[in-house]
């Protein structure tokens, strides 16, 4: 009852200065709209850019690396192991790229509940023969369905589909850059030389375009069997095992554990793409900073308008106090005005922000580099709406707090006597 | 009729500190009984308004003691004083001071809503009744700033009465009105005093006005010289 009265007075004060109140509310609306649109847009772009790399990067990659043994014989001899030994010109042992016992490893990984999926791969270097010149490239032999599920391969195959690889023998999906250089059309047969010197003929069934030009010049895909055949290796020959996890954050510890268990190398995504995470974080930080600045600026607008309102309404405040309203009541009235402005302006801002997001989402955005993107990406994460809503109330509360405090401190005698 | 004291001032001193320390009230002591119609008279600057603000609990920086309804008021918390003002004191100022954002009826109701003893419907009825006493019931739904000065003052008096206060205080309530309206206002006060046994304390510098009240306290240079 009593609070209702204060609310009623707040409402009347606002209606009496409707235009001013509107200006304050529009300020909040504008800043919340911009906040939502900006964050949605920025994060949409962010996720797209992250996706460019992260979608295609396995969370953990197992492989054998050709490198010198860190445990040299001299370090094992009883006599010299406590010395500082300098050995020059160490060469790697004749280790192989092949992962031993790969099928057992894959089975173990697939049984791990933390693992979303496993995709084996064979990578090999080749030279594509174009007339008298050779173009170097990499052919990845992939388990097509697994690769497609885990790494969204079909998003990046602009012509043809990845499944064509399984249906046509000795087929290849060429990187767009390489294909342009070779003038290879779909259905053409191209010739490649393997690292062992064998010549093979492959039929082009599609183009691959990742958006990273350098990659598109080199990377091509073929089925696992095709590459094993090119290399003259048996079907157990696997050089990479790619793993996608349910929880990205588990990658470093799992990589460590399994590397020790299988005695092979394991790279986790965090280590490989550390600079990427940093970039994402900084872009996020910038968009939040800009958004919050907008809100604070609108907070000053509210502060100004409430301050002016209080100067205009000195008589009203004095009379309210004279007829028995306490300083606290007056304070509540003005805080209420601020919060109503914040709530109304903020709610409208959230709606307009959503509409702005939908609008941006419709804008065409076509670029060679990003074959799957047709319009600007927008992230409609409800978190931004929550943050925007809460922040609009918090800023308006603080914008109202100081004027309200001043109003509650008004001495009615000064006003009544002063006339 | 019980004639107990409703307001009592004991040795009230008041200083102004800016620009220089000056004593505006010197050892003011007097009391008002229920049903008294008292006027405070004095020249401009003699401290009569200052005294009224102290008596009304709005000004709390004074020395001495103030009792309202035989209860010690000095040094009470400001929210307690707000309640006292709301419940026991009705105000009429020189410059009407209605809330321009509200209708006449709402203006009269606001102190009652604040007190919260009656619900909205009951208060509305009561407010209309008070307005009827002053012949203002036809204007109930107008905005406060659509009224003339005399009408505003009548509404202000109606508002002062809404919580059936112990005492009505007026600060030159007719000071800003012409002779005709001034007489109407005086007539209302007189009627309240005689018909409703309402206690009234009115500050004025108009000797004619003061003469017609039951009792006149005359002030000069911060002292009471007769009462």
For B146-174, how does the pLDDT look when each residue is reduced to its tens digit (9 = 90+)? 888 788 888 888 888 888 888 888 888 77
Q: What is the mean pLDDT of residues A167-185?
A: 89
CATH code at B34-63+73-226: 3.40.50.300
Domain co-membership, A210 together with A261 = yes
Q: What is the mean pLDDT of residues B192-203?
A: 84
Domain co-membership, A404 together with A285 = yes
User: What is the distance between the terminal CA atoms of chain A, rounded to a whole angstrom?
Assistant: 33
d(CA B153, CA B181): 9
> Tokens standing for A88?
């020059």
Burial class (CB in 10 A: 0-12, 13-18, 19+), A85: exposed
Residue A415 has pLDDT above 90, yes or no: no
Burial class (CB in 10 A: 0-12, 13-18, 19+), B53: buried
Classify strands A265-268 and B71-72 as parallel, antiparallel or unpaired: unpaired
Confidence of residue A371 (pLDDT cuts 50, 70, 90): low
**Which of A315, A323, A412 faces B86 most closely, judged by CB atoms?**
A323
Domain co-membership, A126 together with A254 = yes
- Chain B residues bordering chain A (beta-carbon distance below 8 Å): 49, 53, 56, 58-59, 78-79, 82-87, 91, 93-95, 97-102, 110-111, 113-116, 119, 159, 171
Nearest C-alpha in B relative to A315: B97
Q: Is A114 on the interface with B (CB under 8 A)?
A: no
The answer to whether the CB of A282 falls within 8 A of the CB of B66 is no
Q: Is A63 on the interface with B (CB under 8 A)?
A: no
User: Which H or E element spans position B144?
Assistant: none
The per-residue pLDDT for B96 is 62
User: What is the distance between the terminal CA atoms of chain B, rounded to a whole angstrom?
Assistant: 23
Is pTM beyond 0.80? Reply is no
Question: pLDDT over 90 for what percent of chain A?
Answer: 13
Alpha-helix runs per DSSP H in A273-370: 274-312, 314-322, 327-362
Average pLDDT over all residues of chain B: 82
Residue A70 has pLDDT above 80, yes or no: no
User: Which H or E element spans position B14?
Assistant: strand B5-16
The domain boundary, picked from A268, A289, A310, lies at: A268
The answer to whether the CB of A324 falls within 8 A of the CB of B165 is no
Domain co-membership, A140 together with A236 = yes
**Which of A1, A12, A413 faces B53 most closely, judged by CB atoms?**
A413
**Which of B56, B82, B87 faces A326 most closely, judged by CB atoms?**
B82
Average pLDDT over all residues of chain A: 85
Confidence of residue A1 (pLDDT cuts 50, 70, 90): very low
Contact A416 B111 (CB under 8 A): no
Domain co-membership, A254 together with A177 = yes
The per-residue pLDDT for A88 is 86
Which of A53-62, A82-91, A136-145 has the highest mean predicted lDDT (pLDDT)? A136-145
Enumerate the residues of chain A whose CB falls inside 8 A of the CB of residue B98. Answer: 319
Classify strands A240-245 and A157-159 as parallel, antiparallel or unpaired: unpaired
Q: Is A260 on the interface with B (CB under 8 A)?
A: no
Residue A419 has pLDDT above 60, yes or no: no
Domain co-membership, A74 together with A207 = yes
Looking at the complex, report in whole angstroms how far the Cα of residue A328 sits from the nearest Cα belonging to chain B: 8
Contact A324 B87 (CB under 8 A): yes
pLDDT digits (tens, 9 = 90+) for B22-61: 888 888 888 888 888 888 888 777 888 888 888 888 888 8
Domain co-membership, A250 together with A337 = no
Nearest C-alpha in B relative to A14: B101
**Which of B78, B84, B101 faces A12 most closely, judged by CB atoms?**
B101
Enumerate the residues of chain A whose CB falls inside 8 A of the CB of residue B58. Answer: 321-322, 411-413
Residue A43 has pLDDT above 80, yes or no: yes
What ipTM was assigned to the predicted interfaces of this complex? 0.84
Domain co-membership, A111 together with A254 = yes
> Tokens standing for A416?
């009544």
CA count, 13 A, side-chain hemisphere, A35: 34
The per-residue pLDDT for B106 is 85
Contact A322 B113 (CB under 8 A): no
For residues B139 and A193, the model is more confident at A193
Total count of domains within chain A? 2
Tally Cβ neighbours within 10 Å of residue A198: 12
Contact A326 B94 (CB under 8 A): no
The answer to whether the CB of A164 falls within 8 A of the CB of A207 is no
Looking at the complex, report in whole angstroms how far the Cα of residue B168 sits from the nearest Cα belonging to chain A: 12
Domain co-membership, A68 together with A176 = yes
**Which of A5, A327, A419 faces B95 most closely, judged by CB atoms?**
A419
Q: What is the mean pLDDT of residues A37-55?
A: 81
Looking at the complex, report in whole angstroms how far the Cα of residue B197 sits from the nearest Cα belonging to chain A: 22
A65 lies in which domain range?
60-268
The domain boundary, picked from A268, A287, A315, lies at: A268
Q: What is the mean pLDDT of residues A203-232?
A: 88
d(CA A99, CA A122): 10
Sign of torsion over alpha carbons B72, B77, B78, B84: negative
Contact B82 A316 (CB under 8 A): no
pLDDT digits (tens, 9 = 90+) for A17-35: 888 888 888 888 888 888 8
Domain co-membership, A152 together with A206 = yes
Domain co-membership, A377 together with A356 = yes
Residue A40 has pLDDT above 80, yes or no: yes
Q: Is A241 on the interface with B (CB under 8 A)?
A: no
Contact B101 A326 (CB under 8 A): no
Q: What is the mean pLDDT of residues A156-180?
A: 89
Tally Cβ neighbours within 10 Å of residue A136: 12
Sign of torsion over alpha carbons A90, A91, A93, A98: positive
The per-residue pLDDT for A369 is 64
Name residue A369's beta-bridge partners. Answer: none
Residue B1 has pLDDT above 50, yes or no: no
Domain co-membership, A220 together with A152 = yes
Enumerate the residues of chain B whose CB falls inside 8 A of the CB of residue A316. Answer: 99-101
pLDDT digits (tens, 9 = 90+) for B102-150: 888 888 888 888 887 888 888 888 888 888 887 778 887 888 888 887 8
């Amino acid at each position: 009852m009593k609070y209702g009265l204060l609310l009623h007075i707040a409402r009347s004060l606002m209606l009496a200065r409707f235009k001013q109140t509107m200006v304050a509310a529009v300020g909040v609306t504008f800043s919340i709209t911009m906040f939502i649109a900006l964050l949605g847009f920025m994060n949409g772009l962010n996720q797209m850019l992250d996706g460019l790399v992260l979608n295609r990067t396995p969370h953990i990659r197992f492989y054998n690396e050709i490198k010198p043994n860190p445990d040299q014989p001299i370090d094992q001899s009883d006599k010299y192991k406590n010395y500082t030994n300098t050995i020059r010109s160490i060469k790697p042992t004749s280790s192989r790229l092949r992962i031993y016992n790969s099928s057992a490893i894959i089975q173990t990984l697939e049984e791990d509940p933390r693992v979303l999926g496993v995709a084996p791969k064979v990578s090999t270097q080749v030279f594509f023969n174009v007339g008298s010149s050779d173009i170097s490239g990499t052919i990845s032999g992939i388990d097509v369905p697994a690769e497609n599920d885990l790494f969204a391969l079909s998003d990046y195959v602009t012509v043809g589909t990845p499944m064509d690889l399984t249906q046509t023998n000795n087929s290849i999906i060429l990187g767009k850059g390489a294909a342009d250089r070779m003038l290879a059309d779909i259905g053409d047969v191209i010739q490649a030389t393997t690292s062992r010197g064998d010549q093979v003929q492959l039929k082009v069934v599609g183009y691959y375009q990742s958006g990273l030009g350098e990659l598109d010049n080199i990377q091509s895909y073929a089925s696992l069997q095709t590459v094993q055949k090119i290399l003259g290796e048996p079907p157990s020959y696997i050089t990479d095992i790619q793993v996608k996890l349910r929880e990205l954050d588990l990658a470093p510890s799992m990589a460590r554990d399994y590397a020790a268990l299988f005695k092979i190398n394991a790279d986790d995504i965090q280590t490989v793409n550390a600079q990427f995470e940093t970039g994402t974080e900084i872009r996020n930080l910038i968009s939040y900073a800009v958004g919050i600045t907008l809100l604070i600026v609108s907070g000053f607008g509210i502060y100004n308008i409430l301050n002016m309102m209080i100067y205009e309404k000195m008589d009203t405040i004095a009379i309210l106090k004279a007829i028995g309203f306490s300083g606290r009541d007056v304070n509540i009235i003005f805080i209420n005005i601020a919060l109503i402005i914040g709530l109304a302006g903020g709610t409208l801002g959230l709606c307009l922000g959503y509409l702005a997001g939908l609008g941006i989402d419709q804008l065409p955005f076509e670029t060679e580099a990003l074959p799957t993107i047709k319009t600007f990406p927008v992230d409609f994460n409800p978190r931004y709406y929550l943050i925007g809503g809460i922040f609009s109330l918090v800023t308006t509360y603080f914008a109202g707090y100081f004027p309200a405090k001043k109003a509650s401190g008004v001495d009615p005698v000064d006003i009544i006597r002063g006339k | 009729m019980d004639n107990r004291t409703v307001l009592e001032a004991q040795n009230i001193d008041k200083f102004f500190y800016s620009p220089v320390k000056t004593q505006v009230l010197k050892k003011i002591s007097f009391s008002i009984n229920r049903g008294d119609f008292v006027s405070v008279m004095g020249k401009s600057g003699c401290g009569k308004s200052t005294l009224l603000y102290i008596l009304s609990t709005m000004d709390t920086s004074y020395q001495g003691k103030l009792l309202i309804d035989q209860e010690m008021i000095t040094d009470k918390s400001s929210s307690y004083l707000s309640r006292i003002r709301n419940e026991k004191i009705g105000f009429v100022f020189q410059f009407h001071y209605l809330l321009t954002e509200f209708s006449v009826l709402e203006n009269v109701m606001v102190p009652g809503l604040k007190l919260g003893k009656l619900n909205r419907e009951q208060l509305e009825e009561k407010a209309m009744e008070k307005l009827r006493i002053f012949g203002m019931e036809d204007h109930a739904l107008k905005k406060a700033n659509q009224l003339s000065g005399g009408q505003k003052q009548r509404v202000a008096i109606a508002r002062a009465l809404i919580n059936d206060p112990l005492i009505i205080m007026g600060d030159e309530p007719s000071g800003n009105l012409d002779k005709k309206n001034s007489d109407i206002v005086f007539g209302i006060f007189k009627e309240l005093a005689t018909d409703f046994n309402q206690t009234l304390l009115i500050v004025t510098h108009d000797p004619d006005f003061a003469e017609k009240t039951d009792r006149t306290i005359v002030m000069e240079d911060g002292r009471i010289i007769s009462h």
